[in-house]
Structure formats: C-alpha cells, structure tokens
A and B are shown apart, each in its own frame.
Chain A
Amino acid sequence: MSDTVTPPPVTAETEASAERSTRRRMTLNMGPQHPSTHGVLRVLLELDGETIVRAEPDIGYLHTGIEKQCESKTWQQAVTLTDRVDYLSNLSNNLCYALAVEKLLQLEIPPRAQWMRVLLVELTRINSHLVWLGTHALDLGAMSVFFYCFREREDILRLFEMFSGQRMMTSYIRPGGLALEPPRGWDKAVRRFIDAFPSKVDQYESLLNRNPIFLERTKGVGILPLEDLLDLGVTGPMIRAAGMPWDIRKSEPYSSYEKFDFSVPTRTENDVYARFQVRVEEMRQSARIVKQALEGMPEGPWKADAPGILLPEREKMKTQMEALIYHFKIVTEGYSVPAGEAYQCVEAPRGEIGYYVVSDGTSRPYRVFMRTPSYGNLQALPDMIQGQLIADTIAAMGSMDFVLGDVDR
C-alpha cells in the first residue's frame, strides 16, 4: 500500500528477542495434519515454552491450479470451478465470476434474477458463518455449539439442494442469470427457515457471549492495528471488527444491493471477540436481507434475454430453427466473449472476492485471476500471534476464518 518498504515486524521482533533470550527454543510443526488448522495449513511455530516467538504459515498443500484450469474450460464450464475455490461460499464465487463475465458481455440481468442472487448469496453468508462459528467454538473447546450450528447449516444446504440439486457445489449463479428456474415452493421453504433463524442466532450467542471462559479466551487476543491489517490485505469481518465499515455491498453495490436495507456491523476492539460479534451480527443482517428479498421479489424472467449465450428453452428448440442452432453452438463450443478485461469484486462471507477476467474473444477465458479473501486474511497470522500462547494461535486462526482452498486455489 505504501511506497516505503519497511521490514516486516516478524523478523525485527524475532531478532530482538533472540538477543534477549539464550534459552533453547522448540520448533513445533503444526500441521499440515492438525485438528484445528481447518484443512492443510502448516504453521511452523518457534516456541519459547508455550510462547510463540515466530510463526510461519506454509501454504500450498491444497493447490489445485483452479485459476489455470479455468483457461482450458469454456466460459460456462469455468463456473463449476469457481464453486471449488471456497467451498463454503460457493455462490459468492459464482456470483463474482458471473458478474465479471457479464461485464464483458454487457448483459442486462433482469431484477428477479438479481434479487434471487442476493437471496442466495446471503444464505451462503449465513451458511459460511455458521460453519465458522461452529468450528471456532469447537477449537476453543465448546463442543456442542458446533452441532447446533450444523443443524441450521443443514437446513440451508437443503435449500441449496432444492434450488440447484447440489448441496455444496451448486454452480447455480451463472453468467446471464441463474442455472435453473427456481423450484416450486422455494419461497415457502426459505421463509420457514428465515423466520426461525434469528432466534437460533440468539441461542448460539447465549451459549458463548455470557460465558466467562469464552470471553477470557477471545477478549484482547489476536489484536493487530488496523493499518497493519490493511497493509496485509485483510478484508471482510476482520477489518470491520477493527472499526472500518468497509463493505462492498455498500461502497460499490452490485446485483441491486443498493435497494436493500441493512447495516454493516462494526466493532472497534479489533480482537477475536469483536470478530465473533461482527460475524454473529452479520448473520442477523443477512437474515434481514433474505427476508426483504423474499418479500419484495419482483416478477419476471429469471435469466437475461441473450439467445446466443444462454441455452434456449426446450419448447423453442422444437419449433424454431434458430434456437436449435444456438443450442448446438453453445453446447459444442460455448459462447464467445468479446475481447477485453473486467474486474469485479463482491463482499463474500470471508471478505472481498475479486475476479479479474480477461478474454481474447474466444469461447475460453484467457485468464481468470481470483483475489481471494482467505489469502489476505491468513497473511496477518504471523504478526497476530507473535508473542502469544499456542492456545491464542487457535483462537486467532479461528477468528480469521480462512478456507485453505481459498488460500491456495
């Protein structure tokens, strides 16, 4: 961010303490198989007793080459890869990619599709935060919260399955609109869930936020100044917990977010507990958005009117020659996207997702670059846990809420 290059505080601190202490240090290899690294993260910890002198995250164990793989798929096929970047916020990734491609295609998305996208993406946020809350609490030793969170997550996954036929790898939001027509009875199912959900959030909160042990473990832990967080590229709930109301849904609204009424929760304490509070409040706000989307859902088509890009309807294929030709072309070689480049960012559960999409005019992307929030968030780990205890590492890592697939992509 700044022009001047300052040495990272990790090494500076380490050298100072190396001079101070002549005691023998222990190097602990945490991961890649470890119960609380949530995936295959390896953290090299240099310990003085149980105090962390130096921490070095080692990533790459889950590298899938998704960005590169996108280049060998058609524009349509690449959607399925975006699911797999961050398996907990699949629809946010779908949406971001779709919006970027739509920018190149200059497609107009009908309001119904936009509102449906908002609804689904907010459900994704709830889903992701539920997994985060459950595993975070589990890491801190509170076992039962995990199961309560997964009870509600199961409901959301059932909704996703209802929409797309898939629980996790939905690929439901595609360039041009949605993959399928929303199923019959979806509104009732979503309403049933969203009416019951806010009281469930209160339940989780009551299990944790008045628990002195939980407060002891999270308050004042994992603090890093806001400037450092910004320098390291941290986004999402983590900087909102540091007092910065940065939310792309508000600052650069996409997909009709400007028409929804919601607030961006912020805290200023900047510790693990503040991040907990921000995320729990975000779940409530997401529930509000879902409710608004449900109540104000406009009528109309659920996909754009773009015959050469979206598959024609079955009926038309049987009666119109043109439709049959489009169908054949889309299925065999895909649609081509005008040459150019586009960048789109969305506010995903974990922070800011950005897709930079380059087209050379063919039916396959020339380049798809993903700016993933987990990568930026994880960068804060060494600074955040330095000088703290092993147990704080767990709390701090939990509060970052990274997904290793999202880090390595």
Chain B
Amino acid sequence: MEFYIITLVKAALIAFVLLTAAAYLVWLERKVLAHIQLRLGPSRVGPHGLLQPLADAVKLLTKEDLIPRDAHKPFYLLAPLLAVSLSLISISVIPFGPEVEIFGYRTYLQLTDLSIGVLVVLAVSSLSVYGVALAGWASNSKYSLLGGLRSSAQMVSYELPLAITVAAPLLLANTLSFRELVDSQAGYYFGIIPRWNIFQLPMPQIFGFIIFLIAAFAETNRVPFDLPEAENELVAGFHTEYSSMKFAAFFTAEYINIMTICCVATLLFLGGWQPLFPAQYGSDFVPVLVNLGAAAVALYHGLNPARPKDRLTLPVVAAVFAGIALLFLVPFLKPILVPLFWFATKTGLLVFVFIWVRGTLPRFRYDQLMKFAWTFLFPVALLNLLATSFLVAVTSK
C-alpha cells in the first residue's frame, strides 16, 4: 500500500514538474532566441512574460478544433495522443537524484528503477516516430505527408548512431540501469577530475557525447535537423493540419522529448547528479553561491532599473533566488536538493545548447541529412564503440 501511495505521489509530482518545465522551456526558448536576435521576446503577459505559457495554453484550448474532411479519423486522433504519451513514458525511468530519505521513507528520486532503463528509453523514443508518421499520413495533406515521410526516415536513420553511442558508456559501466550508470561515474581522478563518462578511462566518451548530441538534435527534430517541420518548405510539416489542443500535444511532446534526451545525455555522459568537484572542496555550496549570485545580479538591476517596472519585479526575483539559496543550507533538505541541483544544471545547460543552436544554424537539406547520418555519424559512432570495447576488454582483466 505504501508503495502505491509513494508511486502515485511521485507520478503526480513528476508529471506536474515536467509539464510546467515544458511550458517554461517554451518561454525560455522564446526569450533566449529573442535576445540572440535583438528582440525582447514575450513581455506582455505578466512580468517579463512569465505568464506567457499560461496564456498560450488558454489560447490553444479555446481555439477551434478542426479535423480535415478527408482525414483518416482514428489515426488522425491517435497521432497526437501517441506523441505526447510516449514522450511522457520515457521520463518515468529517468532518475533525478540518489536514494534519499523523506519523512522516514527511503526512496529513489525516480518513478521506477528499471534494470533496463536505457533500453526502455531507446525503445520508446523509437516508437515515437509513429506519432509523427501517422500524423503526416492521416492528415491527408501533401505537406503533412512529406513532413511525415521525412521525419520517419530521419528518425530511423539517427536512431542507429544514437543507440551505438549509448552502448559505449554501457560497456564502461557494465549495466543497463540508469542508477547504476550514475553510480559508476562517482569519484574523481587525482581527487579533482570527475569520473564522468566523458572523462572516464580507459576510453573517455567525449566523441560519443558529441555524436549523441548531434543525433539527439535529429531525434527531436530540432534545427539544424528540423526538416519534418521545415517551415519554409513544408509549411508546418507533419502537424500542418492540426489545430487547438492536438497541435499543443505535438508541441508539448517536442519539448518533453528535448528534456528527456538532455536528461539521458546527462545521465550517460555527464555523471548524472555527481558534482563537478568533490564535496571536500565545497561543491555542496556551489548551489548556494550560484543562487546568491543570481540574487545579487537581479538586485543590482532592480536598483538600477532599465525600465520603471524593473524596480518592483527584479527585487522580488532576487528574493526568490535568495530563498532558494537558503533552502540549500537546510540540513534536512540538503541531501535531496544538492544532487537535484547538479542534475538540473547539467540538463539545463544542454537544453540551452539546443536553443542556442536554433538561433545560429541553418537547416540541412533532406538528402544531405541522410548522407551525414550514414556516411559520417554512423561510422564514427561505430569506431567509438569499437575503440571503447577494445580498451574495456584489454583493461578489464
């Protein structure tokens, strides 16, 4: 009974945090892109546009829900459902922190600790191509069809290098469970260099990490691999004919996928919640310092406001950051929050890279994208795996 309650609480909590994070990821993306592009981004709804996700949700909910006349209805309706539910499934096996004790219960910061978590994520992400392909096919629109076709081909091609690069850290850790993967990355070389998989001997996975990131861009259909929804060629690609909440479902799925893939990258290559440097050098105080620094910056800009309303909003932001900083000092919360902080920071940085790249790079052409996957990414991933397995075999005795 206890197990069910804890699981339900955790599921509700994770779903809530995840959906909120997805909504604010959209806000963040719009803001970061805007500042890259000399714009302000959302700024009307709430202070600094912070309520924009809410407004977007209301807008999408109240929009007319159109179904094209000649659409294949069952599949047309199934596609967004499939997309969003598959994207939610894979997050359930992802751990966010170590085993912790809350109110006397020992539990993992994770919904389910599967011994084959990595495989589940790979399998589910392979399935998610169905959402896109079905949407493209069932809409009965040429633009959607082309978008769906492109996407299926692309996702299938990039699945391969992705899976192969994932195999290398698995060899190093000799496990398929995310939790054990992270545990294997604990500790430091010379007491200072973290044993994360991108640094880990005998074969640092730095190339594997880069290949994984590239494939992840393709897997989530992001620039420069956003061909399925290449706006300038195929209008909106596979979701051209979707409106209202069905469109929102695809949109949410896309952003949850980004977060999932960044979480996976963090777990596989960046040591999950393992801190950057050992606790004896004070790594536990990094979150406090970061948040206090953020508070100081916000306070400074609040006292020297660029706009009149900043005088009111920014000190509030500063107070929030200072409060978070203090939370990290509470002895009872510290063992939970510090690993979460490291995990969230690493994931957040990767997410930022996703947004950054979108603001910078042009888009591949369809055939070039395929060529890139098969003639470059795939062989390099294979070489990386071969080298890793060779070195692991040599050194394991």
Contact among A26, A34, A392, A393 with B235 in the assembled complex (CB-CB below 8 Å): A34
- Flag whether A63 is at the interface (Cβ < 8 A): no
Q: Is A148 part of the contact surface with B, judged by Cβ < 8 Å? A: yes
Given contact pairs A50-B366, A144-B36, A217-B365, A35 touches B359 in the complex (Cβ within 8 A): no
Give B36 Cβ to nearest chain A Cβ, in Å: 6
Q: Are A142 and B235 in contact (CB under 8 A)?
A: no
Tell me how far the C-beta of B187 lies from the nearest C-beta in chain A, rounded to whole angstroms: 39
Is there contact, CB below 8 Å, between A148 and B33?
no
Binding-face segment, B16-24, B75-83, B224-232, B316-324: B224-232
Which B355-372 residues sit within 8 Å CB-CB of chain A?
Answer: 358-368
Q: A207's closest neighbor in chain B, by CB?
A: B360
A391-B233 in contact given A26-B142, A137-B362, A141-B361 (Cβ < 8 Å): yes
Q: Which of A65-73, A208-216, A301-309, A359-367 contacts B (4 or more CB under 8 A)?
A: A208-216
Contacts of B362 in A (CB 8 A): 137, 140-142, 208, 211, 213-214, 217
In chain A, residues 183-229, which have Cβ atoms closer than 8 Å to a Cβ of chain B? Answer: 207-208, 211, 213-214, 216-217
A214 to B36, CA, bound (A): 19
A143 engages B33 (CB within 8 Å): yes
Q: Which of B224, B235, B359, B365 contacts A389 (CB 8 A)?
A: B365
Knowing A50-B366, A216-B364, the reply to whether A143 touches B359 (Cβ < 8 A) is: yes
Cβ–Cβ contact B224 & A141, under 8 A: yes
Closest residue to B146 on the A side, CB-wise?
Answer: A50
> Is there contact, CB below 8 Å, between A142 and B360?
yes
A141 touches B226 (CB 8 A): yes
Secondary structure dominating the interface of A: helix
Contact A391 B361 (CB under 8 A): no
What residues on A are CB-neighbors of B367 within 8 Å?
389
Cβ-closest chain B residue relative to A398: B232
**In the bound complex, how far is the Cα of B235 from the Cα of A139, in angstroms?**
11
B213 at the interface (CB under 8 A from A): no
Across-interface contacts of B358 in A (CB, < 8 A):
143
Which residues between 220 and 257 of chain B lie within 8 Å of chain A, taking CB atoms?
A: 223-224, 226-227, 230-235
A230 CB–B CB distance under 8 Å: no
A248 to chain B, nearest CB (A): 32
- Decide: B142 and A28 in contact? CB cutoff 8 A: yes
List residues of B (40-94) whose CB comes within 8 Å of A's CBs. none
Pick from B37, B142, B363, B366: contact of A140, CB under 8 Å? B363
Contact partners of A137 in chain B: CB under 8 A? 362
- Any A CB within 8 A of the CB of B39: yes
Contact of B364 among A35, A147, A213 (CB under 8 A): A213
Closest residue of A by beta carbon distance from B34: A147
User: Any chain A CB within 8 A of the CB of B38?
Assistant: yes
Do A144 and B365 touch (CB < 8 A)? no
How would residues 117 to 160 of chain A score, 1 for a CB under 8 Å from any chain B CB and 0 otherwise? 00000000000000000000111111110111001000000000
Most chain B CB atoms below 10 A, which of A29, A213, A391: A391
A232: interface (CB < 8 Å): no
A142 to B363, CA, bound (A): 7
Within 8 A of A (CB), among B258-297: none
Is there contact, CB below 8 Å, between A147 and B38? yes
**Smallest beta-carbon distance A230→chain B, Å:** 29
- B360-A390 in contact (CB<8A): no
> Nearest residue in B to A27 (C-beta to C-beta)?
B142
Q: Mark B132-153, 1 if CB is under 8 A from A, else 0.
A: 0000000000110010001000
With both beta carbons as reference points, the residue of chain A lying nearest to B224 in the complex is identified as: A213
User: Which residues in window 384-409 of A have CB below 8 A to B?
Assistant: 389-394
> Interface size on A (CB < 8 Å)?
32
Inter-subunit contact B235/A35 (CB<8 Å): yes
Contact B361 A394, beta carbon cutoff 8 Å: no
Q: Write the A18-47 contact mask toward B (1 if CB under 8 angstroms, else 0).
A: 000000001011000011100000000000
Chain B nearest CB: distance from A28 CB in Å? Answer: 5
Contact between B365 and A35, CB atoms less than 8 A apart: no
What's the tally of chain B residues with a CB closer than 8 Å to chain A?
30
Cα distance A207–B361 in the bound complex, in angstroms: 9
B232 touches A143 (CB 8 A): no
A56 → chain B, closest Cβ, in Å?
16
Contacts of B36 in A (CB 8 A): 144
Which of B37, B143, B224, B230 meets A391, CB within 8 Å?
Answer: B230
Nearest CB of B to A145, in Å: 9
Chain B residue at smallest Cβ distance from A135: B232
- Cα distance A394–B231 when bound, in Å? 11
Interface string of B338-361 (1 = CB under 8 A from A): 000000000000000000001111
- B356 CB to closest chain A CB (Å) equals 10
CB distance from B367 to the nearest CB of A (A): 6
Residues in B with CB closer than 8 Å to A207 are: 360
For residue B361, which residue of chain A has the nearest CB? A213
**Which chain B positions have C-beta within 8 A of A392?**
365
**Interchain nearest-CB distance for B311 vs A (Å):** 29
A132 to chain B: closest CB distance in Å? Answer: 15
With a cutoff of 8 Å between Cβ atoms, the chain A residues found around residue B143 in the complex are: 28
Do the beta carbons of A141 and B230 come within 8 Å of each other? yes
Q: Check A36 against B360 for contact (C-beta < 8 Å).
A: no
A159-180 interface (Cβ within 8 A of B) = none
**With contact pairs A26-B142, A389-B366, A391-B366 given, residues A139 and B232 touching in the complex (Cβ less than 8 Å):** yes
Q: Of the candidates A35, A36, A147, A216, which one forms a contact with B37 in the assembled complex, judged by CB atoms under 8 Å apart?
A: A147
With a cutoff of 8 Å between Cβ atoms, the chain A residues found around residue B224 in the complex are: 141, 213
CB distance from B380 to the nearest CB of A (A): 16
- B365 and A216 contact, CB distance less than 8 A: yes
In whole angstroms, what is the CA distance A226 to B218 when docked? 38
A334 and B223 alpha carbons, distance in the complex (Å) = 57
Task: Decide if B232 touches A36 in the complex (CB within 8 Å).
Answer: yes
Cβ–Cβ < 8 Å partners of A143 in chain B: 33, 37, 223, 358-359
In the assembled complex, the CB of A314 is this many whole angstroms from the nearest CB of chain B, namely 43
Pick from A146, A208, A211, A213 the residue with the most CB of B within 10 Å. Answer: A213
* A142 to B224 alpha-carbon distance, docked (Å): 9
Contact of A148 (CB < 8 Å), options: B38, B231, B361, B365: B38
Of B39, B227, B232, B361, which contacts A35 at CB under 8 A?
B232
Q: How distant is the Cα of A151 from the Cα of B143 in the complex, in angstroms?
A: 33
Give the distance in Å from the alpha carbon of A166 to the alpha carbon of B150 in the complex: 45
Which B residues lie within 8 Å of A217 (CB)?
362-365, 368
CB neighbors of A among B136-174 (8 A): 142-143, 146, 150
Q: Is the CB of A141 within 8 A of B142?
A: no
Interface residues in A46-66 (C-beta closer than 8 Å to B): 50
Closest 7 CB pairs of A and B: A141-B363, A142-B362, A147-B37, A36-B232, A140-B362, A391-B365, A141-B362
List 5 A-B pairs, Cβ < 8 Å. Answer: A28-B142, A142-B360, A213-B364, A214-B362, A217-B362
Taking A144-B37, A147-B37 as given, write out 8 further A-B residue pairs in contact, using a Cβ cutoff of 8 Å, ordered by the A residue number.
A141-B361, A141-B363, A144-B36, A207-B360, A211-B362, A213-B361, A389-B367, A390-B234
